[in-house]
């Protein structure tokens, strides 16, 4: 979804959406922009031939594949982007930094990098920046200074997202126990989501975290299901599961089904077709669980690409560098998920990709 609507209007629209859902807008900072309100990149393309790279610290899940496809789709709108390179460090921080250093040595003009490993990546960002690469980290905030350690940073307002989860859980569950499922060990995005959630949860003393840290799942359905099975064995009753990835939410649901237990409330981000179809089937059977999801998150990488192109080409980009995920599913407000039986189970139906391209991605 592209828009030429002024940023102030987009902020007000996003705030109105939250009010309509009964959610607070206090955390919606004045310089945030809703993830659904991306600008038109063609005004930023410039004329210089450009080689672009996207690097992942962990690219082994479907969400990353869709993100890469959306990134390529956005890049294709600039005819002077002559090549898009992709690298995946497979969860290895040393390889992640090595990938960035290698791309720098190859003379890549722009590097957009997911901040999987947080501050441990800053030295490689700094080296790329000093070598003349337009280096734009994205997703979670990291240390460093724009113009010194990288050209700019585009970040998800993870604290805002965590606060929305906490508010939804507080209003719709009110009392009980909570666990938070994160990704790989040390994932900065998982920690920041958790920090925002715990801060928001302070307003709801009836809810208790069973673990003050996020539960490591490696964003893997197998690892997540094992982890949740262990939590069930340890704690028995769990009332709420919050997760920073829809695939791990689905794995948690399967763990409860396997244990023969009712499915607890689920708050997540980046849902997929399988979990949404499962929810709708459960609702028809009168067994639906409370469900809340923030989505459209694949689009965040395109914000980073547009920012990088504007900097490298010397063109104008008025978008905020703070991007806010928005509610996509809310069972308490009647916001139903989409289910497409013709689409793959792991398809993110909030993706900006046309249906044919999204389906082709999984063949």
Residues 264 and 352 in one domain: yes
Q: Are residues 235 and 142 in the same domain?
A: no
Asked if 231 and 129 sit in the same domain, the reply is no
Query: What residues form DSSP beta bridges with 324?
Result: 34
Question: Quick one: which of 196, 194, 199, 200 has its CA closest to 168?
Answer: 200
Per-residue pLDDT of the chain (363 residues; tens, 9 = 90+): 333 434 443 444 455 455 555 555 444 455 677 888 889 999 999 999 999 999 999 887 788 899 999 999 999 999 999 999 999 999 999 999 999 999 999 999 999 999 999 999 999 999 999 999 999 999 988 999 999 999 999 998 888 899 999 999 999 999 999 999 999 998 888 999 999 999 999 999 999 999 999 999 999 999 999 999 999 999 999 999 999 999 999 999 999 999 999 999 999 999 999 999 999 999 999 999 999 999 998 999 999 999 999 999 999 999 989 998 889 999 999 999 989 888 878 788 898 888 788 878 877
Residues 175 and 79 in one domain: no
Do 345 and 242 sit in the same domain of this protein? yes
Domain hosting 255: range is 159-295+331-361
Q: DSSP for 294-321?
A: EE-GGGHHHHHHHHHHHHHHT------S
- 1, part of any domain: no
Q: Is residue 322 part of a domain?
A: yes
State the Cα–Cα distance between residues 304 and 74, nearest whole angstrom.
11
Q: Do 49 and 135 belong to one domain?
A: yes
Strand boundaries in 90-132, DSSP class E: 110-114
Question: What token pair was written down for 149?
Answer: 């350690």
Task: Quote the CA–CA distance of 216 and 297 in Å, as a whole number.
Answer: 21
Between helix 158-172 and helix 188-201 the angle, nearest 10°, is 40
- Give the SS3 label for residue 112: strand
CATH of the domain at 58: 3.40.50.2300
Cα dihedral across residues 194, 195, 201, 206: positive or negative: positive
Q: How far apart are CA 178 and CA 264, in angstroms?
A: 10
Residues 215 and 113 in one domain: no
Question: 146 and 223: one domain?
Answer: no
- Whether 252 is in a domain gets the answer yes
Give the count of domains, the chain. 2
Q: Decide if 57 is inside a domain.
A: yes
Whether 179 and 244 share a structural domain: yes
**Within this chain, do residues 143 and 257 fall inside the same structural domain, yes or no?**
no
Same domain assignment for residues 339 and 303 = no
Output the pTM of the full model.
0.81
Question: Do 258 and 176 lie in a common domain?
Answer: yes
19 within some domain: yes
Q: For residue 2, is it within any domain?
A: no
Tokens of 77: 């709108």
Q: What are phi and psi of 74, to 5 degrees?
A: -70, -45
């Amino acid at each position: 979804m592209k828009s030429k609507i002024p940023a102030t209007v987009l902020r007000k629209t996003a705030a109105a959406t939250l009010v309509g859902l009964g959610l607070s807008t206090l955390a919606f900072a004045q310089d945030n922009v809703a993830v659904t309100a991306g600008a038109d990149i063609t005004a930023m393309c410039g004329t210089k031939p450009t080689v672009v790279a996207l690097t992942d610290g962990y690219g082994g899940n479907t969400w990353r594949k869709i993100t890469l496809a959306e990134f390529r789709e956005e890049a294709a709108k600039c005819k002077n982007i002559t090549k898009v390179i992709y690298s995946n460090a497979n969860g290895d921080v040393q390889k992640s930094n090595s990938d960035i250093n290698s791309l720098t040595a190859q003379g890549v003009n722009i590097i957009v990098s997911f901040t999987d490993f947080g501050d441990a990546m800053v030295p490689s960002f700094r080296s790329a920046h000093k070598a003349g690469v337009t280096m734009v980290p994205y997703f979670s905030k990291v240390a460093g200074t724009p113009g010194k350690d990288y050209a700019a940073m585009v970040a998800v307002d993870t604290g805002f997202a965590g606060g929305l989860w906490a508010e939804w859980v507080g209003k719709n569950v009110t009392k009980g126990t909570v666990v938070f499922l994160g990704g790989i060990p040390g994932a900065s995005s998982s920690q920041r989501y958790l920090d925002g959630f715990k801060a928001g949860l302070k307003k709801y003393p009836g809810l208790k975290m069973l673990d003050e840290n996020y539960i490591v799942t490696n964003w893997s359905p197998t690892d997540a299901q094992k982890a949740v099975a262990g939590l069930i064995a340890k704690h028995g009753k769990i009332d709420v599961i919050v997760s920073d990835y829809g695939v791990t939410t689905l794995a948690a649901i399967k763990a409860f089904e396997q244990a023969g237990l009712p499915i607890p409330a689920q708050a997540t981000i980046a849902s997929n077709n399988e979990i949404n179809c499962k929810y709708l089937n459960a609702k028809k059977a009168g067994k639906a669980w409370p469900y809340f999801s923030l989505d459209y998150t694949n689009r965040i990488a395109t914000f980073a690409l547009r920012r990088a192109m504007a900097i490298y080409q010397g063109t104008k980009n008025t978008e905020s560098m703070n991007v806010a995920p928005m509610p996509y599913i809310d069972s308490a407000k009647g916001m139903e998920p989409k289910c497409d039986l013709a689409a793959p189970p792991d398809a993110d139906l909030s993706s900006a990709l046309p249906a044919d391209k999204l389906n082709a991605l999984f063949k």
